[in-house]
Structure 1
Amino acid sequence: MPRLADHEQRRRQIAEAVWRIASARGLEDVSLRKVAAEAGVSLRLVQYYFGTRNDLLLGALEILNKVAEEHTRAEVGPEADATPRQVLRTMLVGMLPLDDERRTRYLVHLAYFVRSLTDPDLAAAFSAAPPELERLTADLLAWGQERGEVAPDLDLLPEAELLLSSVDGLQTSLILGQRTPEAVLALIDHQLDRLFSLANVAT
């Protein structure tokens, strides 16, 4: 009997085929047959793991979100000498489409977002996604408060939401070529300097 890891690997293989098609041609071009061909597996196998086309789209989105979360948490892994600002900067920079993998991930998310505007199931999947990044960002700002580097009266969750919304916009401007990577990094540093203003004063 196949191990669970084998099943997960096969589902990831098929999901990656969905991502490649979606990032290049949009979700409208995703079909069970095309995904099977892209993944190098049989149509029957795609149906076995995901069922219908709608289930395939939802399943591939779920796996994509899981992968993105794993990458983010890996980016902010424990470092003995890292400060809250350094950890938060690493996380935010890791969200930017600065390499092929992150660019593909961003384009796939964008394709799903556009489709969700007319697809109630996808819209529900987006709405149901827990705000993990907002909480993680707020926790890092709280860590900064504990160290006396962030203002004690800062309202953390709204600031976290605003910071992540800024990064969302910077992702788009990078993809469109409106800003260079250097300009985007400078803007992120500007925002972090504002939030960690007490640390700047101390130094």
Structure 2
Amino acid sequence: MPKRVDHEQRRRHIADALLRVAATQGLHTAGFREVAAEAGVSVRLVQYYFQTKEQLLLFGLRRVGEQFAERVLPRLATAGLPAAGRERIEFVLLATLPLDAESRSLHVLYNQYFALALTDSSLAAQPYGSDPDALEAWLIEQLRACQADGQLPPEQDLADEALAILALGVGLGNAILGGRRSADDARRVLARHLDHRLGPPR
């Protein structure tokens, strides 16, 4: 009996190879030949699953989000944190910062895709660029729980608050990548901001 091929798994395997090449050499260098070599497959197989580099890039973008979820969700489920609130916010935001090799790679990839989307209409048209960001939506729900618990004034605009927190996270992440701030600096600044806005951990 012929071996059954999991085509979705094959596509993920190839896209993950793209991301590994991009994380070390840049998206602009990740052609079919380089991706095939990294994935340990033929160029023809890469072309079978992705007829164009654009298709491969778009699928790779989806994998960036999936890899972040694969990194954070299991840890969040076993962290013993309250169901919602400041502690969960800090935990997830710290997971987005480039504090280890894995998170650094994801941060570099996110920045590369963002830069490319500024001039590539096909990437800009993706949910990544146009729809509400999943992390922002999650953060708003967490802030809503904080508001219900009296940690934020009832008149506070939660979307603005979420945007400010996310902007801080992006800035801290880039400062770490650029060598201008240490991981300890980032942890301290984030904790101070959350203490100021939401109070200390309970």
* Structure 1 length-normalised TM: 0.88
Residue 189 of structure 2 is aligned with which of 178, 183, 187? 187
Q: Is the 8 A contact 1:88 1:137 kept in 2?
A: yes
Distance change >3 Å, CA 79–CA 65, structure 1 → 2: closer
SS of alignment partner, residue 153 of structure 1:
coil
CA distance in 2, matches of 1:177, 1:142: 34
Give the TM-score normalised by the residue count of structure 2.
0.88
User: 1:127-165 CA deviation, whole Å, 9 max, x = no partner?
Assistant: 234321111111111111222233222211110011001
What do you get for the CA RMSD once the two structures are aligned?
Answer: 2.1
**Quick one: which amino acid aligns to residue 119 of structure 1?**
D
Q: Deviations over 1:4-44 (max 9, x none)?
A: xx333222221111111111121111111110111101112
Aligned to 2:91: 90
State the partner residue of 2:71. 71
| Distance in 2 separating the partners of 1:74 and 1:46 | 31
State the 4+ residue runs in structure 1 displaced beyond 6 angstroms.
none
Q: Match of 1:138, SS?
A: helix
Superposed counterparts of 1:27-106, under 5 Å: 27-77=27-77, 82=82, 84-106=85-107
1:18 aligns with 2:18: yes
Q: Secondary structure at the match of 1:150?
A: coil
Q: Which whole-Å CA distance do the structure 2 matches of 1:142 and 1:41 have between them? A: 48
CA distance in 2, matches of 1:35, 1:195: 45
Shift of 1:187: 0.8
Sort the Cα spacing of 1:80 and 1:65 in 2 relative to 1 into closer, same or farther, 3 A.
closer
Aligned counterparts of 1:72 and 1:133: Cα–Cα separation in 2: 12
Matched residues in 2 for 1:72 and 1:160: separation? 19
Partners of 1:52 and 1:61 lie apart in 2 by 15
The answer on whether the counterparts of 1:96 and 1:171 sit within 8 Å (CA) in structure 2 is: yes
Unaligned runs of 5+ in 2: none
Alignment deviations for residues 36-89 of structure 1 (CA, whole Å, 9 cap, x no partner)? 111101112212222211111111111212222443444443766526111111
Unpaired runs of at least 5, structure 1: none
In the alignment, the residues of structure 1 paired with residue 157 and residue 75 of structure 2 have an alpha-carbon distance, to the nearest angstrom, of 25
Q: What percentage of residue pairs aligned between the two structures are identical?
A: 35
SS at match of 1:36: helix
The question of whether the paired residues in 1 share the 8 Å contact of 2:81 and 2:88 is answered with: no
Amino acid at match of 1:7: H
Q: Counterparts of 1:79 and 1:27 in 2: how far apart (Å)?
A: 34
